[in-house]
């Protein structure tokens, strides 16, 4: 068995043990925890097969040189911009983005662009911006959007620098 698989099983058992301990301490939360876990499981069962099909199509249809050219190591500001846009467009749960990010990394995407993509997926959504505009006003929406974009880009670049520093 691979080392990463052993780690996954160990992590699963640790989470199960911690959950059992917490549920024994707070037995009144048992029903809510089971309901929430079941609903999340059903949501994943309904969504993940479609995501896996899309990832399979991505693997076959998108050549590595396209990923490298647009969001790879030499993509520069264009890669940052595309990562922000590709992260902000979808409106699905964040856990869908992780397998997509892994596929992009395998095809040669730059780490900072992957961090930007994931962060944009989590923090910047076009429909969310429209709701913010309607209820909180233009000034709030633009201020939050600009600050989010700036800090997402800084975070992506900083994480890439840290990863390079640790591997050198």
**Residue 1 pLDDT level (bands cut at 50, 70, 90):** low
pLDDT in tens, 149-163: 999 999 999 999 999
pTM over 0.85: no
Taking each helix axis from N to C terminus, what angle separates 97-106 and 30-61, rounded to the nearest 10 degrees?
A: 30
Residue with tokens 């911006």: 129
Domain boundaries, the chain: 1-50, 62-168
pLDDT at 90: 85
Instruction: Compute the chain's Rg from CA coordinates.
Output: 19
| 167 pLDDT higher than 90 | no
If you average pLDDT over residues 124-137, what whole number do you get?
Answer: 92
Q: Report d(CA 37, CA 75) in Å as an integer.
A: 40
Is there a contact between 159 and 101 (Cβ–Cβ < 8 Å)? no
pLDDT in tens, 27-57: 999 999 999 999 989 988 988 888 889 888 9
Is there a contact between 125 and 86 (Cβ–Cβ < 8 Å)? no
């Amino acid at each position: 068995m691979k080392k990463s698989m052993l780690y996954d099983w160990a992590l699963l058992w640790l989470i199960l043990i911690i959950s059992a301990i917490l549920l024994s301490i707070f037995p009144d939360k048992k029903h809510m925890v089971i309901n929430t876990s079941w609903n999340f499981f059903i949501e994943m069962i309904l969504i993940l097969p479609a995501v896996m099909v899309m990832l399979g199509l991505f693997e076959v249809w998108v050549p590595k040189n396209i990923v490298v050219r647009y969001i790879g190591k030499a993509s520069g500001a264009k890669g940052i911009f595309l990562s922000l846009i590709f992260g902000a467009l979808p409106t699905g749960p964040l856990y869908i983005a992780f397998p997509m990010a892994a596929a992009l990394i395998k095809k040669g995407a730059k780490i900072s662009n992957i961090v930007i993509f994931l962060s944009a997926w989590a923090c910047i959504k076009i429909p969310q911006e429209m709701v913010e505009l309607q209820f909180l006003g233009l000034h709030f929406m633009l201020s939050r959007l600009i600050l989010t974009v700036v800090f997402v880009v800084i975070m992506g670049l900083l994480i890439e620098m840290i990863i390079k520093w640790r591997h050198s």
